[in-house]
Amino acid sequence: MKKEIICTVCPRGCHIQVEGDGKNVQKIEGYACKRGLEYGTAEYSHPVRILTTTVKIDGAEGDLLPVRSAQPIPKEKLFECMEVIRNTVVKLPIKRYDVAVSDICGTGIDIVATKTVG
Amino acid sequence: MYCIKCDVAIIGGGPAGLAAATSAKEEGADKVLIIERDNALGGILQQCIHPGFGLTRFNEELTGPEYYGRFTDKIAELGVEVMLNSMVLEVNDKRKEVICTNSEYGLTCVQAGSIVLAMGCRERTRANIVVPGTRPAGLYTAGAAQRLVNRQNIMVGKKVVILGSGDIGMIMARRMTLEGAKVVMVVELMSYLAGLTRNRVQCLDDFGIPLKLAHTITRIEGNERVTGVYVAPVDENKKPILEKEELVECDTVLFSVGLIPENELTSKAGIEINRVTNGPLVNQYMQTSSPAVFACGNVVHVNDLVDNVSSESEQAGKYAARFAMNKLPDAKKEIKCTVGRNVRYVCPQKLLISDEAEKISIYFRVLEPELNVTLAARCGDTVIAQKKEFRVNPGEMNHIVIDSSKLTGDEVTVEVVKED
């Protein structure tokens, strides 16, 4: 399986060509640095993203708490995680990096507050 | 009228104002006051809940709230004073006064040793770019929609077309998709992306959202609510090819068509404005044409990275503090910083030469994308600084560092040299 990946490590934006079986990389070219090689390889075999969104605050109508995944989560799980977060309500006070949802969707990754409220 | 005295008065508590406040205080200014119209600090970063901030400054990927959180922690620690819910009405640069209203004190006069303008920018709207059609509900600037969705828990629509491939537009494409809306397409007039490549990858490609380069919206349809837009390709003169116009159904249109520095206060104070950036002319100290008034961040020129805003604003805060303490270097001469080949604007536009040797960062944007180029600064025929760049793009700010001791003549020109 062939895939073209635009590198997002720096503004140069190399177009990296990767070939493999969908998981393991057999051939990779078009990158300009080591970080690009790493990005291209990871992006081919297992793309991950930082998920950011908001959660509702208990008793504060219309007020939202911005949250993020503490580490990048597998790309294919983004919507599944959104569903869980959508049904989450947090209580105040909450501090930056307090956990809003722990081990989201069995990823082992926490969803944490990015702001202190209350 | 209620009166407050301070050394450095900063108008705006967004990323620019926060960075200026920390450096002013660290430079030794005793009383530093931030005047902010919102009910909280952080400015636009409060609604920028996405990651991508701090990569150059902190070497890690932060969200907007985390990024400004580091600065609000610091200003609290340093003892910077903050006046929230305060709208500035007038800057009197001669008297070094800022007139504002505040629900607690009423009309208030802030007397300062120096003033820092950090008001940021605002979005261009449909009216600015004149899109024909009806005026139904469902038309938003991308930033207004971002505020509604991220801060006020109001979903703005279900089927969205976005005009403009600026960063806010692309980030809203991802945000709306994650919240369950369908983003039909992003339409861009130019033949290249307006925002950063990483946003195209992570906000559009990740979700299979089509990007229509060299296309535009020709008409908006719908009476009470938007029902659709006509989209057409454009020719090389950016004129729509109407025969190829197609109707795209949607209930929401987001406009991400550029930002304008917010300089009503600056103009009213008679401070000189640059016609290209729409921001005040500044020297390397971020000092405007009025000596006691400094400026930084998007009020000077629209940045793509907040990291740049922070470093530029630290300069403004530092030198505003020095001005207030009467410690600004003695200028022997002023020289102009001008644009050369494939450069749209430079910032700062003036440089002051003193006995103090300085490394001066000149930020600039190119007119057209180019590959394999050399960025150069020259005085007459002498190149005083240069660096190679694989790629330049109008959407990504460039900068070059020059050594003030190498400056000769009356002018330094920044240019992009194409290699053979």
Nearby residues of B409 by Cβ (< 8 Å), 6 or more positions away? B335, B379, B380
Task: Identify whether residues B252 and B339 lie together within a single domain.
Answer: no
Tens of pLDDT, residue by residue over A13-30, are 788 999 999 889 999 999
Q: Are B32 and B341 in contact (CB under 8 A)?
A: no
Q: Is A96 on the interface with B (CB under 8 A)?
A: yes
Task: Identify whether residues B380 and B413 lie together within a single domain.
Answer: yes
Residue that finishes a domain, picked among B215, B230, B257: B257
Q: Give me the mean pLDDT over the B149-171 stretch.
A: 96
Residues of B in contact with A82 (CB under 8 A): 178-179
Residue that finishes a domain, picked among B279, B297, B328: B328
**What pLDDT is recorded for position B298?**
98
Q: Torsions phi, psi of B395, nearest 5?
A: -80, -10
How many whole angstroms separate alpha carbon B286 and alpha carbon B300?
Answer: 9
Does residue B153 carry a pLDDT above 90? Answer: yes
Residues of B in contact with A11 (CB under 8 A): 196-197, 391, 393, 396
Element (H, E) at A90: strand A89-90
Q: Give me the mean pLDDT over the B335-363 stretch.
A: 95
Q: What is the mean pLDDT of chain B?
A: 95
- B402's tokens: 């020059």
Task: Identify whether residues B280 and B388 lie together within a single domain.
Answer: no
Task: Identify whether residues B57 and B117 lie together within a single domain.
Answer: yes
Task: Identify whether residues B130 and B242 lie together within a single domain.
Answer: yes
Nearby residues of B155 by Cβ (< 8 Å), 6 or more positions away? B148, B149, B179, B180, B181
Interface test with B, best of A63, A68, A97, A112 (most B CBs within 10 A): A68
Q: Are B85 and B102 in contact (CB under 8 A)?
A: yes
Does residue B50 carry a pLDDT above 90? Answer: yes
Sheet strand arrangement including A89-90: A89-90, A52-57, A64-69, A111-113, A99-101
Q: Is A68 on the interface with B (CB under 8 A)?
A: yes
Domain range spanning residue B388?
A: 330-420
Residues of B in contact with A51 (CB under 8 A): 178
Write out the DSSP string of B193-209: -SS-HHHIIIIIGGGT-
Of A8, A66, A79, the CB nearest to B197: A8
Residue that finishes a domain, picked among B268, B301, B328: B328
Report the 10 Å Cβ neighbour count for B163. Answer: 28
> Residue B44 in 3-state DSSP?
helix
Buried b (16+ CB within 10 A) or exposed e, B306-324: bbbbbbbbbbbbbbbbbbb
CB–CB of A68 and B51 under 8 A? yes
Share of chain A above pLDDT 90, in %: 78
pLDDT band at B342 (very low <50, low <70, confident <90, very high): very high
The CATH number linked to B352 is 2.60.40
Number of domains within chain B = 3
Of A11, A32, A82, the CB nearest to B197: A11
> What's B365's DSSP letter?
E
| β strands within B268-408, DSSP E | 293-295, 333-339, 345-347, 350-353, 359-365, 370-379, 382-392, 398-403
Task: Identify whether residues B104 and B204 lie together within a single domain.
Answer: no
Domain boundaries, chain A: 2-46, 52-113
- Bridge partners, B7 (sequence order): none
Task: Identify whether residues B24 and B95 lie together within a single domain.
Answer: yes
Q: How far is B252 from chain A (nearest CA, A)?
A: 21
Of A11, A32, A50, the CB nearest to B51: A50
Task: Identify whether residues B69 and B147 lie together within a single domain.
Answer: no
Residues of B in contact with A10 (CB under 8 A): none
Share of chain B above pLDDT 70, in %: 100
CB–CB of B153 and A56 under 8 A? yes
Of B49, B66, B391, the CB nearest to A12: B391
Would the pTM count as exceeding 0.90? yes
Q: Is A115 on the interface with B (CB under 8 A)?
A: yes
CATH superfamily membership of A52-113: CPE0013-like (3.10.530.10)
CB–CB of B69 and A116 under 8 A? yes
**What pLDDT is recorded for position A59?**
84
CB–CB of B63 and A66 under 8 A? yes
Task: Identify whether residues B334 and B405 lie together within a single domain.
Answer: yes
Task: Identify whether residues B10 and B111 lie together within a single domain.
Answer: yes
Tens of pLDDT, residue by residue over B293-312, are 999 999 999 998 999 999 99
Task: Identify whether residues B244 and B316 lie together within a single domain.
Answer: no
How many whole angstroms separate alpha carbon B293 and alpha carbon B300?
Answer: 12
Complex ipTM tops 0.90? yes
